[in-house]
């Protein structure tokens, strides 16, 4: 059985000037919610900021309904169209993550919620500071990493979620912000 992760990074999917514009838009204009949540009687703080946007007919219990579903913004729609044309694949939802500095992170997980179906294709766009994306095999000891570069598109094919966990760890080397958009197709 192959254990090479089924991921591919397309560098420069957005050119640097446009990537900077997109980063600044999200940092300055996007309506970020509070990242403190109460769940099952306990309060916790998400170590990043997030919003979830989807088509009107989509119901999704992402992170146990912590996030409200928002409409697409004009910028998110424009980016979705560019991604869809490039991949010849449609997406009906996007999770927007803002890693404000190297302290913000996401722990080990796979994007394998039942709402994404059995064969989830997820694509991840990065704007701003470079962060290390690490992965480890669910059954073996194999590990690896890629640096998510400004303006890049990371394609995660379905087997990646089946076989691997991934994370963006904390780092003391980064003090600038990173915006990450992950486009998904929620099965209706």
Q: Which residues bind Mn ion (CB under 5 A)?
A: 111
For residues 52 and 69, is the Cβ–Cβ distance under 8 A? yes
Residue owning tokens 């766009």: 125
HSE-CB for 150 with a 13 A CA cutoff: 14
- Is the C-alpha dihedral spanning 107, 113, 119, 125 positive or negative? negative
> 24 or 162: whose CB is closer to Mn ion?
162
For the bound state, the minimum distance from the C-beta of residue 160 to Mn ion, rounded and expressed in Å, comes to: 10
For residues 53 and 71, is the Cβ–Cβ distance under 8 A? yes
* Residue nearest to Mn ion according to CB distances in the complex: 111
For the bound state, the minimum distance from the C-beta of residue 111 to Mn ion, rounded and expressed in Å, comes to: 4
> 111 or 130: whose CB is closer to Mn ion?
111
> 165 or 187: whose CB is closer to Mn ion?
165
> 24 or 100: whose CB is closer to Mn ion?
100
For the bound state, the minimum distance from the C-beta of residue 103 to Mn ion, rounded and expressed in Å, comes to: 18
> 20 or 113: whose CB is closer to Mn ion?
113
For the bound state, the minimum distance from the C-beta of residue 17 to Mn ion, rounded and expressed in Å, comes to: 28
Q: Exposed e or buried b for every residue in 135-163, given b needs 16+ CB within 10 A?
A: bbeeeeeeeeebebbbbbbbbbbbebbeb
Residue owning tokens 């997030």: 50
Name the 3-class secondary structure at 108.
strand
For the bound state, the minimum distance from the C-beta of residue 109 to Mn ion, rounded and expressed in Å, comes to: 6
């Amino acid at each position: 059985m192959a254990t090479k992760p089924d991921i591919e990074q397309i560098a420069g999917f957005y050119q640097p000037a446009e990537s900077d514009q997109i980063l600044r838009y999200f940092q300055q204009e996007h309506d970020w919610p509070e990242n403190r949540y109460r769940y099952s009687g306990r309060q916790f703080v998400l170590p990043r900021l997030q919003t979830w946007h989807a088509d009107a007919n989509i119901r999704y219990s992402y992170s146990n309904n912590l996030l409200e579903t928002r409409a697409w913004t004009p910028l998110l729609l424009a980016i979705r169209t560019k991604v869809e044309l490039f991949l010849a694949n449609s997406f009906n939802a996007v999770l927007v993550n803002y890693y404000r500095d190297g302290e913000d992170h996401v722990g080990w997980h796979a994007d394998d919620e039942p709402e994404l179906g059995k064969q989830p294709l997820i694509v991840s766009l990065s704007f701003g500071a470079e962060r290390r994306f690490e992965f480890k095999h669910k059954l073996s000891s194999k590990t690896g990493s890629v640096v998510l570069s400004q303006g890049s598109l990371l394609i995660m094919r379905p087997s990646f979620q089946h076989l691997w966990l991934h994370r963006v760890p904390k780092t003391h080397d980064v003090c600038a912000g990173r915006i990450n958009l992950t486009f998904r197709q929620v099965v209706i």
